[in-house]
Structure 1
Amino acid sequence: MNTTQPTTNETSNIATLPATPKPQTSREVIQANVQLLIEQLEAGHSEGLTAYLTAMGRFHNYSFGNILEIARQRPNAARVAGLYAWNQLGRKVMKGQKGIRILAPMIGARKKKDTEANKSKDPAAVNAPVLVGFRAVYVFDVSQTEGAPLPEFTERTKGEVGQYRERLINCTIDQGIQLEFKDSIAPALGMSYGGKIAILPGQEPAEEFSTLVHELAHEMLHKAERRTATTKTVRETEAEAIAFVVSQTIGLDAGLASADYIQLYHGNAALLTESLEVIQRTAALILSALETKEEAEQPEAAPATEQPNTDTVLAEVA
């Protein structure tokens, strides 16, 4: 019987997984990290969950499972990339630094039989790409590197919405959702009606931005059937968590207390996993709509894999 227990980082309540055995599939990674979260939440600690939500914004081009891995191993990570990617950016990983272990898919070519190949009219379809498994790769945070300064494509002043307001409005309209500003919804700051959002005029820019993200999240998440039954409290917490992720990522003071996120878990591991997945997916979609092409190419979205070997091609972690 394995009696190895997770340990806790001295500077936080974020636990670390035992050295062995290591999860080898994306689903195992998610299950292991969610279990650690559950143990922390049941002990009354929600700092780890807040760290995961913060990482969702910083690394929204990565998979849900790898975001969990990055946040667990290095909660304060800001920008991550593999050795090769950092070298291409003119930076070197400092001696003695420990990499952040994530999983990269291994893509191989499943060669078709001669009879199938002869029938195919598309030469590219002869050797169809197929997922053959996962392998561990290591990325490093910018704080573990030294060298050339990184480019900053957009100045982000804390507390100022700037150009992101217009981008968020366009994102809402692109989702096929009507947007109007109505005094009659007071004292509510925003309302979601299913295909239409109403926002109370006169809010401070940061508050208005967060309110619109919150209501957009309701439209994207809660107007269709869910796999797991939710409560109003869970739905509101999911929408607020998405507003937290998006607002914090563009440099706003998100404001929601860490302890509030504990409401995502009330003894239901399946619901917690589903909530985190939909929060990550929805926040990533909104953040992608807010980004310029240059911002999307910054280091945190860089390939995490190194040069492929001759047997398989490692797809970019995304």
Structure 2
Amino acid sequence: MNIIAKNEAIDTHNQPKTAREVIAENVQLLIEQLEAGHSEALTDYLNAMSRFHHYSLGNILEIARQRPDATRVAGFWTWKNLGRSVKKGEKGIRILAPIIGVRKKKDEEGSRDITKQNSAVLCGFRSTYVFDVSQTDGVDLPSMREISGDPGENSARLAAFVCSRGITLVYSPNIAPALGMSYGGRIAILPGQSKAEEFSTLVHETAHELLHKAERRTATTKTVRETEAEAVAFVVGKAIGLVTGTASADYISLYHGNASLLAESLEVIQKTAAVILAALEPTIEEKNDAAATDELAEVAA
């Protein structure tokens, strides 16, 4: 190889990656994370969440009526087992717990099938009390890894892109504990998130708006929709330099998504990520302003 050819090879190697290459690499990284299985953070989170009961609709309404701001409720001893204690003076949230009894069968019935000699029956209900996490002190509950970094001007560009598509963007505390919601033509974001989390959430909900409308929404499962939206959020977040860790893989796993399912949606994920990344490119005016700023800095130096 002569010197010119060698230099050309070096220049080619050092050329910045195209958007297509960046998207492909990030998708592959997410697939590898999913194939690796649950992260330690997700395992700890799932173990903790398994201690919480699933309440009936009636009890959910009672909890909402007595403490509208409740986010995670459990009984006194459940909190104890999770390393947290109810604060002194806190008033419990009254709910109804079932009273389960045992109905004994007659000897002749039991003798025919020993496994069915007795059966559990609902005898009634009793009052019991639960407490919201805000009423407790102690060790932090396990949580999934958060996204970090600074999206910079990309947040404003993404918001402008959303509005340009005729999608209304609002910030509402009423959607808690959800970080974001997509309603078809309207996106709601939970205020108070970090800049990185808010950007990632908005990308996720924007992906829903672009991908999951009309026929495609009814033709796909929730698992598919959440896998696709979070994969787009992961790809875009990585492309602008956010530190994502395994947060997206953990989220997809919570919705029972996997690497195989992601691979099946590869084309729509790549296309949607490309559309959003193109919208995040600086405008000509921004590029000119940046160039002017650089020139002034050189003169000042």
How high is the TM-score relative to the length of structure 2?
0.42
Identify the structure with bigger relative contact order (alpha carbons < 8 Å, sequence gap 6+): 1
How high is the TM-score relative to the length of structure 1?
0.40
